[in-house]
Structure 1
Amino acid sequence: MAAALLAAAAGWSYVTYPAIGQLTYDLGAGVESRLYGLHKEVVTVEGIPITLYRSAGKGPAIVMVHGFSADKDVWARFARHFSGQYQVIIPDLPGHGETGFKPEWDYSIAAQTRRIAALMDQLHVQQAHIIGNSMGGFITAQFAVSYPQRTLSAGLVDPAGLPSPHPSEMRVMLSKGQNPFVFDTRAGFYRFYPMTMASPPFMPGYVLDAVADRYIARREQLTQIFSESHKETDLPVRLREVRLPIMLMWGKEDRLIDVSSVPVWQAALPQAKVRVLDGIGHMPMVETPTLSAELYQRFLNNL
């Protein structure tokens, strides 16, 4: 009888362990966002119900755009510094977070950029400061090129979209046919996660395992989104047309997009205010949200 009870308890723990981790993560993110003045909304854009965070600030709008495989929650601790003064808007891009995925949706940079403009229309926001990380930085730069009249400024945080003279660790892996974002075991996630930040914020192991399981469950979706979002665009040609205020922020220890990209962006955007952060990886707004927010606020104050 004792052996049977132990076996049942072990089986129950094995089955419920990932669910507990996912519940903990979701509850924690939900509580934090509300404490930071961010309220969840769903807005339909091009037939897609996009879930987003929005604050009630009365100042200009700031649209914060997450990177590939991430979601709106990566901006929450950064956004808390702006949600009282500004109207902060943080969408889950199609294919990500609570907005979800459908194989027939278009995940190209052009499509995601167009949806940001359409989302602003739905929210009756004519102009906004746009800031994005990684793929979100690519979208931000493309937005500045495509909708300059609607862009108050562009914040580029370790952005994709232009080449790196020195290949990053991710680029080396991709050249060997290995995508660090796509894996089928938790061990794959634990190899990938340290690539995103030099010193990731603490999360309990059971929560990290739950995040790993979500990545594993999404591997086919991520493969499609990655392929469609990495098609060539006209950004390298048209970026020099941008005359808007630009801030370029980069973590010096970025293992996904090498810091050697900074001079390439500077050459295309000589007006950019540049900050390279020592000891920081690919996601400064997560790894050091207060410092990143202070730097961005100074940039906004000087416009």
Structure 2
Amino acid sequence: MNFAQAGRKRLKDTWHYSVTRTIKHVGCHLAGFERKMIDLGDGRQYSYYDNNRSGKEVLLLIHGFNADKDHWLSLSHRLKQYRIIAPDLCGHGESWYEASYKHDIPFYVDELKRFADAMGLNRFHMVGNSMGGWITSLYSVTYPDDVCSIVLLNAVGVKPPLISPFFEALSGDKNPFFFSNQEDFDQLMKISVADASSIPKSFRCVSFQEGLARMARAKKLFADIMDQDQKQTHPAQMVDGVLNRIVQPALIVWGDKDGIMDSSMAEVFQRGIPNSQVVIMKNIGHLPMLECPNETSRYIKGFLKGLGALPVQ
């Protein structure tokens, strides 16, 4: 790359970062979000969004692997009748990270419990995407008195009846999450979302750059939730065997074009969770809250409305 090309690249990168900051700023404004930090002691600082709607039912939004709280911006302003709290999980976003800890699913659950207790959250609904759905499922079993209902968006944590392109790649010693160039990142986007144009171009460009910067951490975090050869999710952390202990009502939402976690997994969750219902969204991939926030919010609101109101906090 010559000097002129490098200069043009810097200008493009600056532009994309500026546009992304604007998108996030507008998203926070529309959602009524305030970015906050809470210190749980021992260096455990969590960053989170809070729309500060005290007196409303609480939705606790749990993002997926190598994602962050910003993934909920498009959805959150469509759910403003609730108090929404969206944290960065440990090791993600702006929250604390210590490489010496094993960030497996039980660890995330216990950390989330510490966060909820520190926030004074006694009863709440949980919405989890991808790994966040895995965490949500185990949290609802481990701390059932905390959780009123769960919404699982393309969740992880059960054995898939059909193998997705993501797991096919893993079996061939290629991890789509571990990209080193634009071509690899574009392939990840191809199997993640049904239509990449549904994600703003600047957001995609910044995600690529930031993903490269945190790749070493991502590889460590990924290893913590996978089996020894990193081809399957860790069997000891799977929730197949405890789904029947989820006593809360559950809404299971899946995109039929998900190349990360095959939509056949929705049936596994539905068969296992006694009080559950499934929605399969057409022409949607792994990230319904980003790809089609309007439709996703309608399903969530309809589900929660059918439960009746919780006592407010």
Q: TM-score, normalization: structure 1?
A: 0.91
Residue 216 (structure 1) shift: 1.5
1:197 touches 1:283 (CA, 8 Å); kept in 2? yes
AA aligned opposite 1:52: Y
1:64 corresponding residue in structure 2: 61
Q: Distance in 2 between matches of 1:121 and 1:270?
A: 27
1:116 corresponding residue in structure 2: 112
2:291 corresponding residue in structure 1: 287
AA aligned opposite 2:218: L
- Aligned to 1:97, the other structure's residue is in SS state coil
Q: Distance in 1 between matches of 2:97 and 2:22?
A: 22
2:159 touches 2:240 (CA, 8 Å); kept in 1? no
1:138 touches 1:159 (CA, 8 Å); kept in 2? yes
1:233 corresponding residue in structure 2: 237
Q: Distance in 2 between matches of 1:278 and 1:292?
A: 12
What pairs up with 1:1-303 in 2 under 5 angstroms?
A: 10-45=5-40, 47-57=43-53, 58-83=55-80, 85-99=81-95, 101-200=97-196, 201-204=198-201, 207-230=203-226, 231=234, 232-233=236-237, 235-303=239-307
- Aligned to 2:270, the other structure's residue is in SS state helix
Q: Distance in 2 between matches of 1:69 and 1:285?
A: 16
Gaps of 5+ in 2: 227-233, 308-313
Q: Deviations over 1:229-273 (max 9, x none)?
A: 233326222221121111111111110000111221122113201
Residue 135 (structure 1) shift: 0.1
1:22 touches 1:211 (CA, 8 Å); kept in 2? no
AA aligned opposite 2:222: F
1:154 touches 1:246 (CA, 8 Å); kept in 2? yes
Of 25-34 and 164-173, deviating more is 25-34
1:186 touches 1:213 (CA, 8 Å); kept in 2? no
Gaps of 5+ in 1: 1-6
Q: Deviations over 1:3-27 (max 9, x none)?
A: xxxx765543334533442333133
Of 20-29 and 250-259, deviating more is 20-29
Report sequence identity in percent: 25
- How many residue pairs match? The answer is 295
Q: Deviations over 1:82-119 (max 9, x none)?
A: 23x21100011112112264422432111111122111
Q: Distance in 2 between matches of 1:8 and 1:185?
A: 20
AA aligned opposite 2:47: T
Q: Distance in 2 between matches of 1:101 and 1:212?
A: 21
Q: Distance in 1 between matches of 2:8 and 2:145?
A: 55
Q: Deviations over 1:209-237 (max 9, x none)?
A: 33212111222111111111233326222
Residue 202 (structure 1) shift: 4.2
Of 11-20 and 272-281, deviating more is 11-20
- Tell me: CA distance 1:261–1:94, structure 2 relative to 1, closer, same or farther (3 Å): same
